[in-house]
Chains A and B, each alone.
Chain A
Amino acid sequence: MSKRTIIPFGPQHPVLPEPIHLDLVLEDEKVVQAIPRIGYVHRGLEKLVEKQEYANMVYVAERICGICSFIHAQTCSQAIEDLLPIEVPERALYLRTIWAEMSRTHSHLLWLGLMADAFGFEALFMHCWRLREKILDMVEDTAGGRVIFGSCKVGGVRVDIEDAKLKDIVIQYNDLEKEIKEITDVFVEDYSVKHRLVDVGVMSKEDAHVLGAVGPTMRGSGVAKDMRTLGYAAYKYLKFEPVVETAGDCYARTKVRIREVFQSIDLIRQAVAQIPGGPIAVKVTGNPTGSSFQCVEQARGDVAYYLKANGTKNLERFRVRTPTFANIPPLLKMLGGCELADVPVIVLSIDPCISCTER
């Protein structure tokens, strides 16, 4: 048996924008085991419910993660609306869907860029982020913030998007779609990209299921599960199929995300075509009681919110299970037996979001 070495990876590592620590046990160049250590970003925001009233928890939820910010706010609002209970106007549901899909496109482009950076394709990284900025401009124009949208609140949405602007969004996305296609073709077809991604970090369908992977990580292994099919917000009125790839390697996960970008653009188109008029928010009165469990599909997988209330203006319990947390066991499985040089690519292939994980 060859000698074992332990290499610390992180928390400050050039490929990671966020701090996570992995102890990689190596035999020569092969990784035998990966031991994670988390806690660098832990804030303990679940306990904030004791200090913030329930309507303000949406602001806190939005700041769990800066990339899926809108979807966190949406889920939190949904859960509180379920507890109150109030009925949200249709238009607000559609607007939430549109913003959620915008956030998904920007998140996936961001990830594609980081992935390109991880396998050393700097030009591709720059192109992905160039396109992403156009989406952020649209977001800022409609919601008011670039990464923290701040447009969702309990009972509806804070700002309306006029119909002319909605049409403009679709037009801009039509143009953007062509440009994104140009870039994503590189990911799908380029020889050097394939070289780094195909057959790297393979996870079988059984493993994905048993280890509880979520989101694109799971769908890349052939499990067709997408929380949007539950029909929350306006998804019940829209037509779409979960994107599935079967190979289970980094390449398949990349392809899932690429196809999801186009799926999101299509969903925005459908939503804009069907959006009804009417109010965008209802008045919120009273305090929440009971408990609520909400599952929503984020860019990285499904997030689960559990809220418990006791009739006062502070919630009693606020629990968030985020997608990356569920994806860490599959990640450790993928890392076993891989080459050291592939570690950054595999870690990135689950689209890790550490600030979500540790909250």
Chain B
Amino acid sequence: MSYLAKSPWLIHYDGSSCNGCDIEVLACLTPMYDVERFGIINTGNPKHADILAITGSVNEQNIPIIKNIYDQMLEPKVVIAIGICATSGGIFRECYNVQGGVDQVIPVDVYIPGCAARPESIIDGVVKGLGVLEEKYKKYGKKR
């Protein structure tokens, strides 16, 4: 992994997940995994965020909210789908209210499998997401 030229901020939205992946995302922020070492901060404000981390699948109710958050984020941005629910709908794929993975609604850049996704796996995924972010920066022709 290249050194981080930027401290990426992260916004987390919980789709219709079971909580398992959410608390693993939170666990990443706490002493044992401590992603703040890398300058990653969990923010509540979409305008501040570079990375949108979504746990859980999408359903009728939260599609507009996910779209709303995504649209409010500034370009370039990266979307990470955390957990099997967010990648494919998982065990709830056949439920009547579940539309499937997050990629049904917005473009996803990194998929993190696991039920629940392990914090290590989430960290790996975020690092991968940073690579994507870097490339997107280049495409936008921005100087950092």
Contacts and interface: CB of A to CB of B under 8 A. Distances in A.
Nearest to A127: B31
28 contacts: A17-B19, A17-B23, A18-B22, A19-B14, A39-B61, A40-B59, A41-B16, A42-B16, A43-B57, A43-B59, A43-B95, A44-B95, A44-B98, A45-B95, A47-B95, A47-B96, A48-B92, A48-B94, A63-B92, A64-B18, A65-B20, A66-B21, A67-B23, A113-B30, A129-B27, A129-B30, A136-B27, A145-B116
Nearest to A51: B94
B16 A43 contact: yes
Interface string A1-35: 00000000001111001110000000000000000
B65 interface: yes
Contacts of B13: 12, 19
Contacts of A133: 27, 30-32
Nearest to A56: B91
Contacts of A41: 14-17, 56, 59, 62
Q: How large is the interface on A (under 10, 10 to 19, 20 to 34, 35 or more residues)?
A: 35 or more
B39 interface: no
Interface string A118-138: 000000011001100100100
Contacts of B50: none
B66 to A, nearest CB: 10
Contacts, number: 120
B108 interface: no
B44 interface: yes
A67 B116 CA distance: 11
A43 B89 CA distance: 10
A60 B62 contact: no
A44 B116 contact: no
A358 B57 CA distance: 14
Interface of B: 12-24, 26-27, 30-32, 44, 56-57, 59, 61-62, 65, 69, 90-92, 94-98, 115-116, 118
A66 B19 contact: yes
B65 A66 contact: no
Contacts of B97: 42-44
A147 B59 CA distance: 23
Interface of A: 11-14, 17-19, 39-45, 47-48, 51, 59-60, 63-67, 69, 110, 113, 125-126, 129-130, 133, 136, 145-148, 353, 355, 358
B20 A17 contact: no
A145 B91 CA distance: 17
A63 B14 contact: no
Nearest to A107: B23
B95 A63 contact: no
B95 A66 contact: no
Given A60-B92, A129-B27, A130-B32, 17 more contacts: A13-B44, A18-B19, A18-B22, A19-B62, A19-B65, A41-B59, A42-B59, A43-B16, A43-B98, A44-B97, A63-B20, A65-B19, A65-B20, A66-B22, A66-B23, A130-B30, A130-B31
A125 B30 CA distance: 8
B18 A66 contact: yes
Given A19-B14, A44-B95, A63-B91, A148 B61 contact: no
A120 B16 CA distance: 27
Given A60-B91, A66-B22, A355-B16, A40 B61 contact: yes
Nearest to A42: B97
A19 B21 CA distance: 14
A146 B115 CA distance: 10
Contacts of A146: 24, 116, 118
Given A39-B61, A133-B32, A59 B91 contact: yes
Contact of B20 (A59, A66, A125): A66
A43 B22 contact: no
A62 to B, nearest CB: 9
Contacts of B65: 11-12, 19, 40
